Structure 1
Amino acid sequence: MGYNNFDNGLFDFAPIFITIVFIVVIGGILFTIVKGVGQWSTNNASPRLTVPAQVITKRTNTWGGSNDTSATTDYYITFQVESGDRMELKIAGSEYGMLAEGDFGLLTFQGTRYGGFERKV
């Protein structure tokens, strides 16, 4: 009669822990999907506007890239419209390189969706 680790209830917790982790992961995935669909729906319900604006700042967000995976970069531009309101919109890298801080022009957007920027000289 020795001490048996399998009878002390330690391993009874493992299925509960695995279930909790599974629920948290699935919950996180569902939350992300619902949030994305909600933003997409809000953008579609918003009017497509073209307004005079100025490029205020540019920034990037690079993530990933460890070991054998490639890095991903997201590009953002902050625009200021005539009313003084500012909005940061995610744009394509090809357009990011074509804009400079201080540029004036016509910004087209729909909700948080970038539609284009026509620079005025």
Structure 2
Amino acid sequence: MFFFEDIMFNLVPIFIIIIAIIVFGSILLKFTAGIKQNVKNNASPVLTVPAQVIAKRTEVRGEHSHTWYYSTFEVESGDRIEFEISGKEYGLLAEGDLGLLTFQGTRLKGFERNR
């Protein structure tokens, strides 16, 4: 019985340290990926192209139900690009809208509808 207690006494701190390393490592990787994407976006040219709103969607995440909004645009070449947008932009866009899409990498700069 004492042998088992000695093993547990020695293994529990090691287990806690391993879990802490995994948690903080995951946070660091996520943070680093965000910085890399931001640097890549900043290095990309700002493009303005004719586009059409093809789809809109929402995603609810977390305990407190935070909502994320997305819109998919199709450009003249037939390529489709999805951007995260604000709730206000989501409400103003309608599927089928035509206009000029301005973006930089994965960052939406704006969408101006044709009038």
User: Counterpart in 2 of 1:107?
Assistant: 101
2:5 partner SS:
helix
Per-residue CA deviations over 1:42-88 (Å, capped at 9, x if unaligned) read 000000111000001101111123xxxx3211100000000001110
Structure 1 residues 5-84: aligned runs within 5 Å: 5-7=4-6, 9-65=7-63, 70-84=64-78
Per-residue CA deviations over 1:22-42 (Å, capped at 9, x if unaligned) read 100110010011000000000
TM-score by length of 2: 0.94
* 1:12 Cα deviation after fit: 1.5
Give aligned-pair identity as a percent.
58
* 1:106 Cα deviation after fit: 0.3
Runs of 4+ more than 3 Å apart: none
Letter in 1 for 2:97: D
1:96 partner SS:
helix
Distance, in Å, in 2 between the alignment partners of 1:13 and 1:95 is: 53
Question: Quick check: which one's helix share is greater?
Answer: 2
Across the aligned residues of Structure 1 and Structure 2, the Cα RMSD in angstroms comes to: 1.1
**What is the aligned residue count?**
114
Letter in 2 for 1:35: A
Distance, in Å, in 2 between the alignment partners of 1:10 and 1:18 is: 12
Gaps of 5+ in 1: none
Distance, in Å, in 2 between the alignment partners of 1:19 and 1:32 is: 20
Gaps of 5+ in 2: none
1:88 aligns with 2:86: no
Q: Which has the larger radius of gyration?
A: 1
TM-score by length of 1: 0.89
